[in-house]
Chains A and B, each alone.
Chain A
Amino acid sequence: MPDSENNPDQSAQDRFLAGDADKGESIVQLRGVTKKFGETVVFSDVDLEVGVSEVVVLIGPSGAGKSTLLRCVNGLEEITSGEIVVAGQTLSYDQKHLNRIRSRIGMVFQSFNLFPHMSVTENIAVAQRDVLGRGKDEAIQKAHSLLERVGLSHKADAYPGSLSGGQQQRVAIARALAMDPAVMLFDEPTSALDPELVGEVLAVMKDLAEEGMTMMCVTHEMRFARRVADRVVLIADHGIAEQGPPDQVLDHPVTERAQHFLSELSDH
């Protein structure tokens, strides 16, 4: 296709929308991103690239802005300056553009945020129908196959209120996957769970990673970071303090900031 060679952004966008971008190409790019709340600087001048099928785990002290960074990627937070590019498209806050990009960026929240007045199936089907324009049967079928994938087929007609936290979070993952996202964002997905329920959610996330899903994940689960992450990024002191493969960052950190953070962790 000669056109796409002349216009690489366009081709990346096409493949993003088709959902089959090549491994190694970056799907999320942050260029000189600064975020302030009023006068308070959360982070400044952050550069970060996430490749297709890459699993990037964001760690760091609480309040360092890991979650805020993640929320900037799908525009839940507006950046103060810099540029965020998702699959060749620069994020703008024009509502139509934002809705279109968001429909391909899955997000999983700490507090699950399932719609309490809809059944599990309806939770997974609603945006497929409203946003992607899928028919009722297709949306329900997709919901059921995703429920099978997260091991919750028997809860298809249940309401979120009757599910455990771990089950709710698995439904939330299925809801995000139903949109065929190009990248999945996880914002402390296991922090609100009872310890015995953490494993079932991490198992689903690990499967996803192995199937080649591109993932950005804020978590305090160091074992998950070690086993699943391709890259660990330490966010501290208003920016990226250190990044690299998990064994390097977690076991042999180079920067003083990282050494300090990790020693604090092992103290507990």
Chain B
Amino acid sequence: MNFFEMFAEYAPIFLKATWVTLSLTAVALVFAGILGAGVAAMAMSRIAPLKWLAAGFIGLIRGTPLIAQLFLLYFGLSSIVVLDKFWAGAIALGVHNSAYIAEIIRSGFQSVPKGLVEAARSLGMSRERTLRRVQAPLAFRAILPVLGSQFIIAVKDSSLVAFIGLTELFRTAQNTAAATYKPLSTYAIVSVYYLAIVLVLTAVVNRMEKRLGRHKS
């Protein structure tokens, strides 16, 4: 059985696993987006304790490996609460990404020139209007490409959830390799699946960037 025959034969179980990977990553990223926006708002606030709290959270999460966070949540807390594998994975991946997303959002807002805010304010626009009309749209344009690459990292990092036993793409590859004694073909196949997901995601982000970047011409 060559690579292509194997690819075809195992397509149904890999496609099913792709669905698990995609839904895991999607749930994690929605959660990460909401939490990350909240942490970014705290980091940019004028209230010092909120800033410290945000900085502490970001430092702690970015300073420790995702797999340690995942194992802490799933195995570490198992004496108190046994989480569903999917949800444990989604929460760990979500919290991990929220710290990065918070930093991306914060730096996006900081990239908006102060002069533009002053121009809006000097026209009589309120803080809220200025945020909505000037800061947010421009920050979003700066954030989008960086956010896109963070999403790509998240898709690939979701493979770590295999190690708590969730049958997503990578776990499926491990099982297949063990059953067929064909690690080379199997890990090549699973790589093709990840690559396909990443390529589609990249295309979507590029398209959004292009649409938002019309004014740069």
Contacts and interface: CB of A to CB of B under 8 A. Distances in A.
A74 B129 CA distance: 18
Interface string B106-137: 00000001011011111111110100011001
A162 B124 contact: no
B64 interface: no
Contact of A99 (B115, B125, B141): B125
Interface stretch (A25-33, A108-116, A251-259): A108-116
B124 A76 contact: no
Q: Please classify how large the interface on chain A is, using the bins under 10, 10 to 19, 20 to 34, 35 or more.
A: 20 to 34
A179 interface: yes
B210 interface: no
A102 interface: yes
Q: Please classify how large the interface on chain B is, using the bins under 10, 10 to 19, 20 to 34, 35 or more.
A: 20 to 34
B133 A113 contact: no
Contacts of B115: 109, 111, 113
Contacts of B46: none
Nearest to A161: B216
A95 B126 contact: yes
Interface string B204-217: 00000000101111
A115 B121 CA distance: 12
A37 to B, nearest CB: 16
Contacts of A127: 120, 123-125
Given A76-B118, A111-B115, A179 B217 contact: no
B152 interface: no
A162 B217 CA distance: 7
B114 to A, nearest CB: 9
A114 B214 CA distance: 16
B123 to A, nearest CB: 4
B138 interface: yes
Nearest to A175: B123
Interface in A105-135: 105, 107, 109, 111, 113-119, 126-127, 130-131
Contacts of B216: 116, 159, 161
A116 B138 contact: yes
Given A113-B115, A115-B116, A130 B121 contact: no
Contacts of A149: none
A117 B118 contact: no
Nearest to B141: A117
A130 B130 CA distance: 10
Contact of A159 (B120, B123, B129, B215): B215
A26 B216 CA distance: 43
Given A111-B115, A159-B217, A100 B124 contact: yes
Interface in B159-217: 212, 214-217
Contacts of B118: 76, 109, 113
Contacts of B138: 115-117
Given A115-B116, A130-B129, A130-B133, A76 B217 contact: no
A115 B141 CA distance: 13
A105 B116 contact: no
A103 interface: yes
A115 B119 contact: yes
Given A111-B115, A117-B138, A126-B133, A103 B217 contact: no
Nearest to A179: B123
Interface in B31-78: none
B212 to A, nearest CB: 8
Contacts of B124: 99-104, 127, 131, 179
A30 to B, nearest CB: 18
A76 B116 CA distance: 13
18 contacts: A76-B118, A76-B121, A99-B124, A99-B125, A99-B126, A101-B124, A103-B123, A107-B119, A109-B115, A111-B113, A113-B118, A113-B119, A115-B116, A116-B215, A126-B123, A131-B129, A159-B217, A179-B124
In order of increasing CB-CB distance, the 4 nearest A-B pairs are: A103-B124, A113-B119, A127-B123, A159-B215
Interface of A: 74, 76, 95, 99-105, 107, 109, 111, 113-119, 126-127, 130-131, 159-162, 172, 175-176, 179
